[in-house]
Amino acid sequence: MSTHTPTPAPARLIRSLVGAATALATPSRPGAPLLAHASSRWLRLLPYVVALAFVSSLLPVTVTVLVNDYQVNGALAGALATAQTAPLLLAVSRPLQAWWIVFAADVLGAVALLGADGVAGRSWPWTPMIVVGYLALLIALGLREPRRTLVGVWLVTGAAGLVFELVSAERSDGIALLLFVLGGVVLLLSGALRERGDAERRLVEQATISEAERSRRTLLEERTRIARELHDVVAHHMSVITVQADSAPYRIPELPEAAREEFSSIAASARESLTEMRRLLAVLRSDGSEGERAPQPGLSRVQQLVEATVRAGVPAQLSMPAELGDVPQAVDLSAYRIVQEALANVVRHAPGAPTRVSVTAHGEWLTVLVVNGAPEEAGSPLETSGTGHGLVGMRERVRLTGGTLDTGPLPDGGFRVAARLPLRTEDGS
């Protein structure tokens, strides 16, 4: 049994400092401006406007104060003021690089003020303009960089102020400590705001991915379910072909030998197709689910669906002729499932709404219409489990048969499902 030896505190501190130093040299996501993903164009331009306002106000004030109050040479004052303020424009897209420039300029400015004649009685090592610009820069840093980088910036800022305190304590008036404290507060608040925004974006992305995956899984499950059901329909036809091909030589004795061989080949091909279909069905049922042993339902059982819906508390009526003619098995099954899903949706989402089911055949088309009114009262669904996946299953079944589907809400608050399914295949059968 191995034991874990705790890392000594000095080693952890050194490791943290090294990590912070590494983070200071590694900016994250360079090039993406602040608020770049905002929907409004004016909101995307806001960081540039704010940065320009800081630069245009701090630059002349810094030059004036350095020259008139601190008695700094004009050229040096202009260079220091530019280096301390102009990078704020860069901070909109690359705040860490801007911080390196501004911090270096602030340190050089503090060193330059050591030899100036007007430092006595005034703020040092940081001037008031430096504090304002630096805090604005820290806001941009907090909104962009990770926590480790922010800690590194804060510690470096405090370390620089401490060094200048040790170099010339008599010149210091506590502004270094003030910047250290205010900088920590600004970094904490802006960093927390950034982390909250990142968390919300991740939640939205995850929700979008989950919804897409859920829709895709629903579609695949419904297609698998339809494939299982159609197996019985297709298998029936293939079995008929096999029997007819096998029995043809016995039913038609005068068949020539070439025709007998052809029928034998047809029967063999049909049996092979049935075997492949059974293998495919075994793959579709690899989850261990058992297939339904009852015959596949059809339009003859729509009356039972309507009666079950009435018993569930939905006043439903059925209009369907006693004889619809020859309806292909796939269409018969699809029409039944469409009515089943439509009525299940009425029970779940519009309890108590009057519902009308109509099934008619005109020419080469079978029309299925399910219309419900507005629900009598809003309440919890009366049914929590459906037989499929609602509109997704309807669309897949209609697409399978080559028909059309029209669904949507009605002006009175109800809903309409209209399916048009072909009664004849492309070859006219």
Q: pLDDT tens for residues 237-281?
A: 677 777 788 787 877 877 788 887 888 888 888 777 777 777 666
Q: Is the pLDDT confidence value at 424 over 70?
A: yes
Specify the length of the chain in residues. Answer: 429
Residue 1 burial by CB count (10 A; 0-12/13-18/19+): exposed, middle or buried? exposed
Residue of 149, 73, 144, 86 lying closest to 115 (CA atoms): 73
Residue 385 pLDDT greater than 50, yes or no: no
DSSP letter assigned to residue 375 = -
Whole-number pLDDT of residue 388 = 43
pTM of the model: 0.54
Using the Cα atoms of residue 250, residue 251, residue 257 and residue 263 in order, give the sign of their dihedral: negative
d(CA 191, CA 186): 8
Q: How far apart are CA 387 and CA 225, in angstroms?
A: 10
b/e code 83-101 from CB counts within 10 Å (16+ = b): bbbbbbebbbbbbbebbeb
pLDDT of residue 184: 94
pLDDT bracket for residue 381 (50, 70, 90): very low
Average pLDDT of the segment spanning 28-41: 71
pLDDT at 273: 77
pLDDT at position 222, please? 72
Backbone angles phi, psi at 312, to 5 degrees: -80, 0
pLDDT of residue 238: 75
Is 356 exposed, middle or buried (CB count within 10 Å of its CB: 0-12, 13-18, 19+)?
A: middle
Strand 365-372: give its sheet, edge to edge.
316-319, 355-362, 365-372, 415-422, 404-409
The reported pLDDT for the residue numbered 14 is 66
Rounded to an integer, the average pLDDT of 11-31 is 63
The candidate with the shortest Cα–Cα distance to 66, out of 137, 127, 135, 114, is 127
At position 275, the amino acid (one-letter code) is: T
More confident of the two residues 3 and 214: 214
What average pLDDT score do residues 388-395 get?
73
Buried b (16+ CB within 10 A) or exposed e, 251-286: eeeeeeeeeeeebeebbeebbeebeebeeebeebee
Give residue limits of the domains in the chain. Answer: 10-173, 218-284, 299-422
Interior/surface letters 118-128, b for 16+ CB within 10 angstroms, e for the rest:
ebeebbbbbbe
- Whether the predicted pLDDT of 80 surpasses 90: yes
DSSP string across 128-192: HHHHHHHHHHHHHHHTTS-HHHHHHHHHHHHHHHHHHHHH-TTT--SHHHHHHHHHHHHHHHHHH
Per-residue pLDDT at 295: 61
Closest by CA to 154, choosing from 165, 172, 167, 141, is 141
Least confident of 3-12, 63-72, 294-303: 3-12
Please report the pLDDT score of residue 285 as a whole number.
59
Neighbour-count burial for 186-212, b at 16+ CB within 10 Å, e otherwise: bbeebbeebeeeeeeeeeeeeeeeeee
Distance CA 140, CA 93 (A): 9
Q: pLDDT value at position 76?
A: 93
Task: Please state the rounded mean pLDDT for residues 228-236.
Answer: 67
pLDDT, position 197: 83
Q: What percent of the chain has pLDDT over 70?
A: 82
DSSP 69-107: TS---HHHHHHHHHHHHTHHHHTTT-HHHHHHHHHHHHH
**According to CATH, what is the number of the domain 299-422?**
3.30.565.10
Q: Is the pLDDT of residue 10 over 70?
A: no
Q: Convert the pLDDT of each residue in 132-180 to its tens digit.
A: 999 999 999 998 888 889 999 999 999 999 999 888 888 888 899 999 9
How far apart, in whole angstroms, are the C-alpha atoms of residue 139 and residue 92? 10
Q: What is the mean pLDDT of residues 353-359?
A: 92
- Provide CB contacts within 8 A for 168, sequence distance 6+: 114, 124
CA-based nearest residue to 81, from 126, 125, 129? 129
Name the residue among 170, 81, 162 with its Cα closest to residue 121.
Answer: 170
pLDDT of the residue at 233: 66
SS3 415: strand
